[in-house]
Amino acid sequence: MSLNKRFIIVTFLFISLFLELPSVSCAYTRAEHNKFQRSIVDFRSRLNPKYLKVKRQKTKYIIVHTSELGLKYTLRVVSKGKHLRSGHRTDGGHAHYVIGRNGRTYRILDKKYIADHAGLSMWRGETDLSKTSIGIELVGYHYGSITDQQYRSAGILIDILQGVYNLNDQLVLTHSQVAYGLPNRWFRKNHRGRKRCAKNFVRAKAGLGPSWMYDPDVRTGRLLADAQLSKVFYGRHKVDPLADQANVISKRNTAWAIAGEDFDSTTTVYKFPNGRLYTGDQIADKVGWNHIPANTVVMLNQESDIKLLQEEGPIKTVSGGITAWSLAGPSYNRKTTIYFLPSGRIKPGSMISDWDDLPAKTRVIIGYKGPYRLHKKQTAFRIAGVKYKDQKTIYYLPSKKLLSGNKIKDFSQLPVGTFVFLPATL
């Protein structure tokens, strides 16, 4: 063998070995570790007693998820169990930890036990990764942003777990990287893309080094690639996973790209631009998957309170599984999204920091400016002009009643102190 050939082989082996070397994780101090561990909320007593605790034989991975729910329902699902298409519920135990949007962390299951979090999964040919991994749920949606508080808590928690189990950064993966699906209408073979979970997780913000440069199971032909996820995780020029308009159907952002295997689930709701609602299992017969209109909004895990999504007019309500994100999408934290809390307080989205504790029955209007206060010299007409009776002009009475202009019969009877909100485009 010539010296040149030997040099090329040795260089290739060196590069391959380098790619497998442990990455340096974010180093937090012992004091930060201790403070964080003391702050963890112990939720283990809420675990479904039917869940069978089995000790893990070995720990090879840490898998990060997005819960696709608000905090209350995330905690309920991972502890008590989740709804299945058959109408049954699982026995819970679907994560070891949950991290709320304010960074508060909950321990669901002792880290030594197997949590049922990864489902149908594969990495480097190994399947059923729940048996060899720790699952961390970040409250929120894969088509939304993860908060700085969540990244800090996730970074410290991962740093602690890496120390306990001697795991390098490349062994920290997202659910969307490891989940795979069986053949369906989009794929003729087993494939990636079954879950979109945590495709928006930016590793550097959690203090982690780069992940893999390729999908080992796609490279070996065990699985077909998912085009969108391949670009997000392994593209030469990494794409912004939030580049498409959140959970809104477009030419590039299909039902599959948003919902993955849950595209036809009874708990996935499609809200058409005309306001009509369909669950995933209704689309094939009533609409057809190729006829979903652009700008249709896709909402995941809508197990209850579907009627609230059908509210007519601009006033919406946060309740149960209907979160601020469900209603406002990426506009949920903007100053033009106004929240009316049950306490009577009014807050723009830009002034709310703790989304986990946003109370049920909070009402929302999206795309508004104000408030403008009514008084003797400042009438509804002076504020809103000819639009003062319009459905899109919103009045908030001192009695905490919220009304559209077309619902008010006698404007002369509006009490002093009433606030008026106008569409931001006016």
CA dihedral angle for residue 173, residue 175, residue 180, residue 185, rounded to 10 degrees: -140
Does residue 26 lie in a domain region? Answer: yes
Per residue in 285-331, pLDDT (tens digit) is 999 998 999 989 888 887 655 666 666 679 988 876 678 887 887 78
| Tokens representing residue 147 in the block | 């908060």
Domain count, the chain: 2
Q: Are residues 203 and 259 in the same domain?
A: no
Tell which residue, 228, 426, 253, has the closest CA to residue 329: 253
pLDDT at 74: 93
Q: In angstroms, rounded to a whole number, what is the distance separating the alpha carbons of residues 133 and 172? A: 9
Per residue in 388-419, pLDDT (tens digit) is 999 999 999 999 999 999 999 999 899 989 99
Does residue 264 lie in a domain region? Answer: yes
Q: In angstroms, rounded to a whole number, what is the distance separating the alpha carbons of residues 107 and 149? A: 17
Final residue in a domain of this structure, among 271, 303, 335: 303
Does residue 315 lie in a domain region? Answer: no
Burial 236-248 (b: 16+ CB within 10 A, else e): eeeeebeebebbb
When pLDDT is averaged across residues 221-235 and rounded to a whole number, the result is 93
As a 3-state breakdown, the chain gives helix, strand, coil percent values, each rounded to 5, of 35, 20, 45
pLDDT at 18: 39
| Residue 180 identity | Y
Among the listed ranges 42-51, 90-99, 290-299, 311-320, which one has the minimum average pLDDT value?
311-320
Helical H segments across 61-141, by residue range: 71-80
Does residue 326 lie in a domain region? Answer: no
In sign, the C-alpha dihedral spanning 235, 237, 243, 248 is negative
pLDDT at 9 over 60: no
Q: Are the beta carbons of 175 and 64 closer than 8 angstroms?
A: yes
- Select the more confidently predicted residue: 307 or 56: 56
Q: Are residues 99 and 209 in the same domain?
A: yes
Q: Are residues 284 and 249 in the same domain?
A: yes
Residue with tokens 């790619």: 19
Q: Are the beta carbons of 336 and 368 closer than 8 angstroms?
A: yes
pLDDT at 63 over 50: yes
Which residues, other chains included, contact 170 with Cβ-Cβ below 8 Å and sequence gap of 6+? 20, 22, 23, 209, 211, 212
Q: Are residues 260 and 210 in the same domain?
A: no
pLDDT at 379 over 70: yes
Q: Are residues 85 and 210 in the same domain?
A: yes
Tell which residue, 114, 137, 13, 127, has the closest CA to residue 55: 114
Which residues, other chains included, contact 172 with Cβ-Cβ below 8 Å and sequence gap of 6+? 61, 62, 63, 64, 158, 162, 203, 208, 211
Q: What strands lie across the sheet with 316-318, from one edge to the other?
A: 316-318, 362-366, 337-340, 346-348
pLDDT at 241: 65
Final residue in a domain of this structure, among 303, 324, 342: 303
Q: Are the beta carbons of 381 and 374 closer than 8 angstroms?
A: no
pLDDT at 385: 94
Residue 161 CB neighbour total at 10 angstroms: 19
Tell which residue, 196, 151, 165, has the closest CA to residue 62: 165
**For the CA atoms of the chain, what is the radius of gyration?**
25
| Tokens representing residue 286 in the block | 């009533």
Q: Which of 2-6, 131-135, 146-150, 406-410 has the highest mean pLDDT?
A: 131-135
Mean pLDDT value across the chain: 88
Report the predicted TM-score, pTM, of the whole model to 2 decimal places. 0.82
Q: Are residues 268 and 293 in the same domain?
A: yes
Final residue in a domain of this structure, among 303, 334, 349: 303
Q: Are residues 199 and 270 in the same domain?
A: no
What residues make up the domain containing 73?
Answer: 22-234
Model confidence at 267, in pLDDT bands (50, 70, 90)?
A: confident
- Select the more confidently predicted residue: 235 or 95: 95
- Between strands 316-318 and 362-366, the pairing is antiparallel
Task: Give the percent of the chain with pLDDT over 90.
Answer: 65
Does residue 350 lie in a domain region? Answer: no
pLDDT at 368 over 70: yes
Q: Are residues 162 and 101 in the same domain?
A: yes
pLDDT at 303: 67
Q: In angstroms, rounded to a whole number, what is the distance separating the alpha carbons of residues 404 and 406? A: 5
Please, which contacts does 319-325 make with residues 24 or more away whose CB atoms are closer than 8 Å? 319/360, 319/361, 320/73, 320/360, 321/69, 321/70, 321/73, 323/69, 323/70, 323/358, 324/349, 324/355, 324/358, 324/362, 324/364, 325/70, 325/140, 325/141, 325/144
